[in-house]
Structure 1
């Protein structure tokens, strides 16, 4: 109960500052419309603040927030019937100070990678996006997806192996 009480008194601004960028990045990967990404991010924090007293402390706080984000995304996709974003969205995810030639090569490589991610199963895509775009640990991903940590690790391993095979240069 002390954790709940401590979280209730936590500054909303601090929670937002810690998680907003990761949640936005997670949505940006999955949704084409940047306005909707901003709206969904805002919706997540409205839900988090409204349900803060329901957080029981048994699971990591970040996993709890991303569970809300993931469920918000699922609701949105069902409603909009939208598919994951096109590759141009990924170019904006990473700021770069590289030379133009290096940026083009990196962009082409990123486009290939995310085009290949689309070929993975839905569960593998979810694990990969939560791991690398939201920067979550396996136990947090398991909590968000409602799966065991072992099954998440297997999904991750198989997804990465499949991506590695697809990304091998053909010569």
Structure 2
């Protein structure tokens, strides 16, 4: 976090090149989050670029009361939600290509990981937008409930409720349809 604060101060002092450190640190995580929201790689790339521009333009508003990453995600997610509302964004189903992160020497492992990811993406994709965002922030970005509450600007109790409802919907779907995530239906 100290590095981030230093980079923010450098950018605000006129060293625009320091912003590259922030981009490099967060680009993959932010892209993964937005890709899971949009289900469209090109849209996700565009939104990540726009989000980083928005974060850059609002750096002076960062008050250092919480982690920089939470503030940055709030700005980026709010930007995406605004764009979704403006464009009446239609979610599209595409598969996330994860061949680059899977060991190609083990075909069984490749198949199982792809199948697990495909089913999880499908399960998450069936959730309403607000619940999907909370699931992604909690389990993909590993944010705390408090950070999600701040980021989404909703009470902590709503974060817990939405997360509970989302997991229940996913478990119910797995119970009804079966599949790789049968363990989820046992309350895990």
TM range, smaller chain = 0.7 to 0.9
Aligned pairs for 1:1-171 (under 5 A) are: 6=6, 7-9=8-10, 11-89=18-96, 91-92=97-98, 95-97=101-103, 99-168=106-175, 169=178
* CA deviation after TM superposition for structure 1 residue 77, in Å: 1.6
Deviates more, 1:144-153 or 1:73-82: 73-82
Q: TM-score, normalised by structure 2?
A: 0.74
2: distance between equivalents of 1:76 and 1:160?
26
2: distance between equivalents of 1:164 and 1:43?
35
2: distance between equivalents of 1:109 and 1:87?
15
* CA deviation after TM superposition for structure 1 residue 110, in Å: 2.1
SS at match of 2:58: helix
SS at match of 1:88: coil
* CA deviation after TM superposition for structure 1 residue 121, in Å: 3.4
* Residue-by-residue CA offset, 1:29-55 (whole Å, 9 max, x unaligned): 122442332222111111111111111
* Residue-by-residue CA offset, 1:109-167 (whole Å, 9 max, x unaligned): 22222222233333221101122233322222111211122321232233223323433
1: distance between equivalents of 2:165 and 2:87?
30
Residues paired across the two proteins, number: 166
Q: Highest relative contact order (Cα 8 Å, sep 6+), 1 or 2? A: 1
Q: TM-score, normalised by structure 1?
A: 0.80
Q: Could you say what the CA RMSD is over the residues aligned between the two structures, in angstroms? A: 2.6
Unpaired segments ≥5 residues, structure 1: none
- Is the 1:31–1:37 Cα contact (8 Å) retained in structure 2? yes
* CA deviation after TM superposition for structure 1 residue 26, in Å: 1.0
Unpaired segments ≥5 residues, structure 2: 12-17, 183-188
- Is the 1:28–1:34 Cα contact (8 Å) retained in structure 2? yes
1: distance between equivalents of 2:122 and 2:64?
38
